[in-house]
Amino acid sequence: MCHCLACQKRTGSTFGAQARFPRDKVSMTGESTAYVRIGDGGNSVTFHFCPKCGATVTYRIDNIPDVIAVPVGAFADPTFPAPKFSVYEARKHAWTGIPADAKHFE
C-alpha cells in the first residue's frame, strides 16, 4: 500500500487535521482500540479509536513520545482555532485551502 495518501484514506477526508498536546496533560477514559501504521519515514503511529463508532480519538507518533494528537473533528467545535502549521501540502487536493499565515512544511 502506498503510504503517501494514507492519512486521506484513514480520515476519509482530503487531509488529516490534528491538535497536539503534551502527553502528561491528557487523560483518557473509556474504551479504545488501537491500530498501528508505519508512516512514510518509517515511524510508527498508534491510532486509538472508539470501538463502537470507529472514530479516531487520539494518536501517538513514536518519534514524538511526549505528544498526543487529537483529530480536530473529535472536538465537534466549528470555532476550533485555525492551524498554525501544515505538513505534506504537496499531497493535498488542489481545491483544499490552507491558511496563508500557517507555517508550511513538506
What CATH number does the domain containing 71 carry? Answer: 2.170.150
> How far apart are the C-alpha atoms of 54 and 48, rounded to whole Å?
9
| Host domain of residue 64 | 3-105
Q: List Cα–Cα distances, 62 to 10, 14, 37, 68, in angstroms.
A: 18, 24, 11, 10
Q: Please name the helix (run of DSSP H) or strand (run of DSSP E) that holds residue 35, with its range, or none.
A: strand 33-38
pLDDT beyond 70 at 1: no
**Banded model confidence at residue 82, pLDDT cuts 50, 70, 90:** confident
Q: What is the mean pLDDT of residues 62-69?
A: 92
pLDDT beyond 60 at 2: no
| Structural domains of the chain, count | 1
Which of these ranges, 18-22, 35-39, 60-64, 97-101, has the smallest mean pLDDT?
A: 97-101
pLDDT beyond 90 at 68: yes
Total residues belonging to the chain: 106
